Structure 1
């Protein structure tokens, strides 16, 4: 295995020039020019997940420099230059990510080690791998050197909007901060268990636009789970927007997981949000039966299934000026718990954990954790919080499930709280008003996929009432 280790030093003394990734260059940084020259870099699931909004595609925002500490960009200066060109500041503080990409020889699990130097005081440095999977967050003093190690998975995935699997034969690292310098990267194949995630949009990977802010993007809790693990396992997220227990199988996502499963791997299954919108996928018919089938097939591979209840929405009803929480997912959550007891499968009750916190904070205070105008889908702050629920639930399993101890023991101590800060979505500046979206739409795909959820709690409640009425049930 040691002979397969890829070691990259990015200091000026060892690199004649700043490397940029391309088909002929097996490792390097990714900027706007690379995105424009290589269309495959714009499939977010196969890359870092960071990209500029379409109106900035021709703007040379990412300006990477090099010195004895490695390669870096001065995010504050780059963002300030952009705002000056636009003639308007889009607060609060936002960041340009330093994105690095390296080819790997085959699908599988890898241990990544990196070293960076904080060229400025970093109050909240973020390190992502893969498609914006958060591996580390914390503060670093100016001049300090940070060395960290984390484990990643590279394997085929069916991207959003595609019908076939794409090979994922690269690893991505993105560092978000004021002015961090990436100095050293090593990538080594390893043999460790993998946690596969099967679920819907609340668990899924999302891209993010930059200049980046954690509140101005979508984030699924599967993207933040690594933050709570010690590197003894990897996470492979196959969750997708809009999927139910039925469509996740019919579109090939579960088959792709099955092809990769090895004895001792884990599969976390979380559905319900989209099942409940269909008469034949209610809590008393198709939903638990589809979960039962997933569990049987996972066990047939000598892998270990885990159920997760659907995470609660921030949905309330108002009557006579009084707000009352509206638990639209109660039945599906209870069906999931009952099936876990019946089949002796551990259940992560994310529904109860999220609902308790939403009720504690209240409707309006909870909004900071959700995408702007959305009642269901979290931003990056909410994703980290929800992944914390999953970590807490895993810890609580204790010795009740001895076969799962290899996973339970990898769950590290709770991450430091991440204080949320509000931010609006990026807006197109007047100087670029004539720039058209090359995809022919002014709305991002995720926003369109999530429109039913953004119409508000009352509209969603009416939809579900109509479904249950067709089934002869009542809400």
Structure 2
């Protein structure tokens, strides 16, 4: 029997079949659900018809946790306020953007369904935005959802909350997909195509991935590193390791997709972007043709974006912050490789664009 959870938020009576959640419902292990910090939650009852719509919790950068088995889930969030407009952003831990600034006019009520991938037996949803509201939450296992697995490095991975606004593009991809597709981000900082495999990370994906799922593969940043555990030669061993990802996906009937490395932010004096990846990019393009694997040329797409913005404005996409600008980087930061959240959102949009352009079917059908 499929397990499901249904929560009614606010201080009025619970709707039939729903568990009531108030601003005093803190998370307890024995309860298995609740807000992780109730000091950031308030509640209101507008005393209008409909038990789900009349009352709500107002979670100001607050997280709601539900202990669930690992797997795929579809969550449906009900949002609205009888007397005020609302605007809510929702993330699933760690920092995966599910929807951004969802606006609901006063007196209206909307439901938004999104997909999440749970690995640590806990679904943690963080609500923020200018005027956040949560009226109802439904969680249902989605064993038949399509999984989009990501294998890659720090530019792709789910960056931890204590590094905000540091983000990988894989964290921002869920908001661009309908609830039929679950993003399973296995990318990890500092890994090359070689070290990812030698640490057993590809094997972990192969053990989960099923027919008609997808595996997106982006490596290259760390394959250039000279240390033995990570270095691959671009024309030989780099291709050989990438083939293992392709073969692993195809062995179970899943679909591999190659992604060229997103560019670093280094400019030539003439205003053009400097190519710091060199032959690694060409090797991915060649392998795509040799093995008939769809290609998303994120290197070319990011090059156009960064050059369009220019040397100064492109800093707004990367981890460039003045002292005191970012809470977790009090001394400031100047990083030309890694993205802040707004940059990761832009790069994720380029990936979605690449899915459409490459006619990756049926995945392209599930883009928002």
- TM-score, scaled relative to structure 2: 0.85
Alignment of 1:356-375 (within 5 A): 356-372=304-320, 373-375=334-336
SS in 1 for 2:337: coil
Partner of 2:263: 312
Q: For 1:250-399, what aligned pairs fall within 5 Å after superposition?
A: 250-278=198-226, 280-318=231-269, 322-372=270-320, 373-398=334-359
Question: Deviation digits for residues 121-160 of structure 1, max 9, x if unmatched?
Answer: 55x63211232111112333355433211111123xxxxx
Question: What is residue 65 of structure 2 aligned with on the other side?
Answer: 101
Q: Distance in 2 between matches of 1:286 and 1:27?
A: 48
Matches within 5 A, 1:168-317: 168-190=120-142, 191-209=144-162, 217-278=165-226, 280-317=231-268
Quick one: distance in 2 between partners of 1:16 and 1:253?
38
Quick check: which one's helix share is greater? 1
State the shift of 1:255 in Å. 1.5
Counterpart in the other structure of 1:25 = 31
Aligned to 2:118: 154
After TM superposition, give the deviation of residue 117 of structure 1 in Å.
2.8
Quote the Cα distance in structure 2 between the aligned partners of 1:16 and 1:99.
13
Q: CA deviation at 1:397?
A: 1.7
1:16 deviates by 7.5
Q: Mark the runs of 5 or more structure 1 residues left unpaired by the alignment.
A: 34-61, 76-96, 156-167, 211-215, 399-403, 413-475
3-state SS of 2:308 partner: helix
Structure holding more strand per residue: 2
Alignment RMSD (CA, Å):
2.1
Q: Distance in 2 between matches of 1:125 and 1:331?
A: 44
User: Which SS does the other structure have where 1:177 is aligned?
Assistant: strand
- Asked whether the equivalents of residues 117 and 180 of structure 1 are also in contact (C-alpha less than 8 Å), the reply is no
Q: CA offset at residue 409 of structure 1?
A: 1.2
- Of residues 32, 38, 42, the one that matches 1:65 is 42
Note the C-alpha offset of 1:388: 0.5
Asked whether the 8 Å contact 2:62–2:127 carries over to 1, the reply is: yes
Quick check: 2:260–2:298 contact (8 Å CA) kept in 1? Answer: yes
Deviation of residue 360 (structure 1)? 1.3
Q: Match for residue 161 of structure 1?
A: none
Q: Distance in 2 between matches of 1:327 and 1:201?
A: 19
1:315-342 alpha-carbon deviations (Å, 9 max, x no partner): 1244xxx544211123211110110110
TM-score w.r.t. the length of structure 1 is 0.66
- How far apart in 2 are the matches of 1:341 and 1:70? 53
